[in-house]
Amino acid sequence: MRRANSQGILRQDLLWHLKEGTRVRQAVEEDRCLLCQSQRVNRAGLCEGCAANLTDEEWEVAKEWIEERRR
Ligand SMILES: [Zn+2]
């Protein structure tokens, strides 16, 4: 299996990735947090700990994933 894209992303790039979506879908599929690689991620590809530390702007986009307005 190709694992080249399975590293966590940089915190500063999170908003961009949330909007772009490719890595979010991948994180959900692999059940690996976008930021810290933990398991048990939500629909935005984030674990509970990372999801609790989003900025307002990031949360607005993450919420669209969680509520399935993005997919
Ligand atoms: Zn995490």
Count of domains in the chain? 1
Q: Is residue 50 part of a domain?
A: yes
71 located within any domain: no
Q: What is the pTM of this model?
A: 0.87
Residue 1 located in a structural domain: no
Domain with 48 in it: 11-66
Q: What spacing in Å lies between the alpha carbon of 56 and ligand 1's midpoint?
A: 17
Distance 17 CA to ligand 1 centre (A): 14
Distances (CA, A) of 50 to 3, 40, 46, 65, 70: 22, 11, 6, 15, 19
Decide if 39 is inside a domain.
yes
CA gap 62, 2 in Å, rounded: 26
State which residues have CB under 5 angstroms from ligand 1, the bound ion: 33, 35-36, 38, 47, 50
Better pLDDT: 64 or 3:
64
Is residue 22 situated within a structural domain? yes
pLDDT digits (tens, 9 = 90+) for 22-62: 999 999 999 999 999 999 999 999 999 999 999 999 999 99
Higher pLDDT, 47 or 5: 47
Identify the pLDDT of residue 22.
97
